[in-house]
């Protein structure tokens, strides 16, 4: 299934590093100088899971460098902030990045910020090297997130000692390119690291995602049926691959 490029986000010339994109794997440039990703994770940093109305975030304590991402395409140490998912109204779509024109049922984003160069997440988000996001296409049915008490917008519950490794494939080869946030304010501050290996998601888990409500307990229930942005133009960017 092809993916349409949304023109409205590309009218002005300055927005030439927008995300997500369609990654044409044969056009990706193998870069032998790209290092393996170094993911250091401390389960005691996971704090809570929150329904934000357009998606839900699992948030981490990012007051110190306890869970960090380094090496890979990065020149600094990046601190874990949150992870969230994107999904579609059916199992036929839902991912934000598209691989050789193929859309996947969902995508996980693990958001880190450059704590080596910047004092805060908010400050880092104003700079091209401010954030790094790991994208994982499809997902494992190992993910069984209990979302029952998260049903309505604004709800949150504690989410401690979570094992992030359950969300990642064993093979961490990746494509990388410079892009943006895929939600407002679309800042072009993200080093995207899209894993090449992915794992299938269970349809039951996708149904649970679509069961979350973007309304409060006092409003008519409206489910979060989908929350993925259309692919954007590549412009002058090159996608690099960590694997030949």
| 187/243 with CB nearer ligand IW7 | 187
Q: What residues make contact with Zn ion under the rule CB under 5 A? A: 109
Out of 70, 82, 140, 205, which residue is the one contacting ligand IW7 (CB under 6 A)?
82
Per-position DSSP letters for 180-202, written without gaps between them: --SSTT--S-EEEEEES---PPP
46 is a contact residue toward ligand IW7 (CB under 6 A):
no
Contact segment (CB under 6 A) with ligand IW7 among 41-49, 143-151, 161-169, 176-184 equals 176-184
Choosing among ligand IW7, Zn ion, none, which partner's interface includes residue 21 (Cβ < 5 to 8 Å by kind)? none
| 57/95 with CB nearer ligand IW7 | 57
Out of 183, 202, 210, 215, which residue is the one contacting ligand IW7 (CB under 6 A)?
183
User: Which residues, 6 or more positions from 184, have their beta carbon under 8 angstroms from its beta carbon?
Assistant: none
CA distance 114 to 187: 15
Looking at the chain, the number of H-run helices and the number of E-run strands are 2, 14
| 32/185 with CB nearer ligand IW7 | 185
- Which member of 54, 86, 228, 235 is catalytic? 54
Omega before residue 10 within 30° of 0, cis? no
167 is a contact residue toward ligand IW7 (CB under 6 A):
no
Paired residues of 86 in beta bridges: 107
Q: Cα–Cα distances in Å, from 67 out to 61, 80, 163, 190?
A: 9, 6, 12, 18
Per DSSP (E only), the strands in the chain are 22-23, 29-30, 37-40, 46-51, 56-60, 68-71, 78-87, 98-99, 106-114, 131-137, 156-158, 174-179, 190-195, 240-241
What x/- string results for residues 110 through 139 when contact with ligand IW7 is judged by CB under 6 A? -x----------x--x-----x-x------
CA distance 207 to 33: 41
Which residue minimizes CB distance to ligand IW7?
181
| 41/113 with CB nearer ligand IW7 | 113
Choosing among Zn ion, ligand IW7, none, which partner's interface includes residue 206 (Cβ < 5 to 8 Å by kind)? none
Our answer to whether residue 54 is catalytic in this structure is: yes
State the catalytic residues: 54
């Amino acid at each position: 299934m092809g993916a349409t490029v949304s023109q409205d986000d590309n009218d002005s010339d300055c927005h030439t590093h927008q995300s997500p994109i369609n990654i044409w794997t044969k056009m990706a440039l193998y870069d032998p100088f790209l290092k393996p990703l170094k993911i250091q994770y401390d389960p005691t940093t996971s704090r809570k899971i929150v329904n934000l109305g357009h998606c839900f975030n699992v948030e981490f304590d990012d007051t110190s460098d306890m869970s960090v991402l380094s090496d890979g395409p990065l020149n600094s140490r990046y601190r874990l902030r949150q992870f969230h998912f994107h999904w579609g109204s059916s199992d036929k779509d839902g991912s934000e990045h598209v691989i050789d024109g193929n859309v996947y049922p969902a995508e996980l984003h693990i958001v880190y910020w450059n704590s080596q160069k910047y004092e805060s997440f908010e400050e880092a988000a104003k700079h091209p090297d401010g954030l790094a996001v790991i994208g994982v296409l499809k997902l494992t049915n190992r993910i069984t997130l209990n979302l029952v008490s998260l049903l309505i917008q604004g709800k949150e519950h504690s989410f401690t000692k979570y094992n992030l490794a359950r969300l990642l494939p064993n093979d961490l080869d990746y494509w990388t390119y410079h892009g943006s946030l895929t939600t407002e304010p679309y800042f072009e501050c993200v080093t995207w690291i899209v894993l090449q290996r992915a794992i299938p998601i269970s349809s039951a888990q996708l149904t649970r995602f679509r069961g979350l409500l973007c309304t409060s307990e006092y409003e008519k229930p409206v489910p979060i049926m989908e929350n993925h942005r259309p692919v954007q133009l590549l412009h002058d960017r090159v996608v690099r691959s960590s694997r030949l």
